[in-house]
Amino acid sequence: QVQLVESGGGLVQPGGSLRLSCKASGFTLDYYNIGWFRQAPDKEREGVSCINFRHSYMYYADSVKGRFTISRDNAKNKVFLQMNSLKLEDTAVYYCAAYRTFLEPTCASGVAMYDYWGQGTQVTVSS
């Protein structure tokens, strides 16, 4: 059974940090591009970051550039999102997602390409 499971969300004060993890099971991530998305109440799901299968290309939304870092450990079948200097507007449910690459050098920042999705983990930034 193909599954992505996020963890690491929680409540944090502004300026704090969290590290999200995404564990894949039922398939190996070696030839998959991975994205992190978030969805706040009454807003559309938006792309936060993605990383290609070669670890050679990473994308960050302007709103998180310089604060978030995406990484992956294919040996552990995991992807991570390190979130620093968190702001109130980062509050959302965070999802990881994956799609089989066609060996392209980039990764997709939009939701349309992604085939597999996790159930999401809540991140709340509040004082």
pLDDT digits (tens, 9 = 90+) for 51-71: 999 999 999 999 999 999 999
Tokens of 17: 């940090």
* Structural tokens at position 96: 């990881």
User: What is the structure's pLDDT at 102?
Assistant: 85
Compute the distance between CA of residue 59 and CA of residue 65 in angstroms, rounded to an integer: 9
pLDDT (0 to 100) of residue 103: 86
pLDDT of residue 1: 86
Q: Indicate the pairing of strand 92-100 with strand 121-125.
A: antiparallel
pLDDT bucket at 104, cuts 50 / 70 / 90: confident
Query: How many Å apart are CA 94 and CA 13, to the nearest integer?
Result: 17
Strand partners for 59: 50
**Is the pLDDT reported for residue 47 higher than 90?**
yes
Per residue in 1-45, pLDDT (tens digit) is 889 999 999 999 999 999 999 999 999 999 999 999 999 999 999
Q: With contact defined as beta carbons under 8 Å apart, do 81 and 27 qualify?
A: no
Give the C-alpha separation, 90 to 49, whole Å: 13
Are 80 and 19 in contact, with CB atoms under 8 Å apart? yes
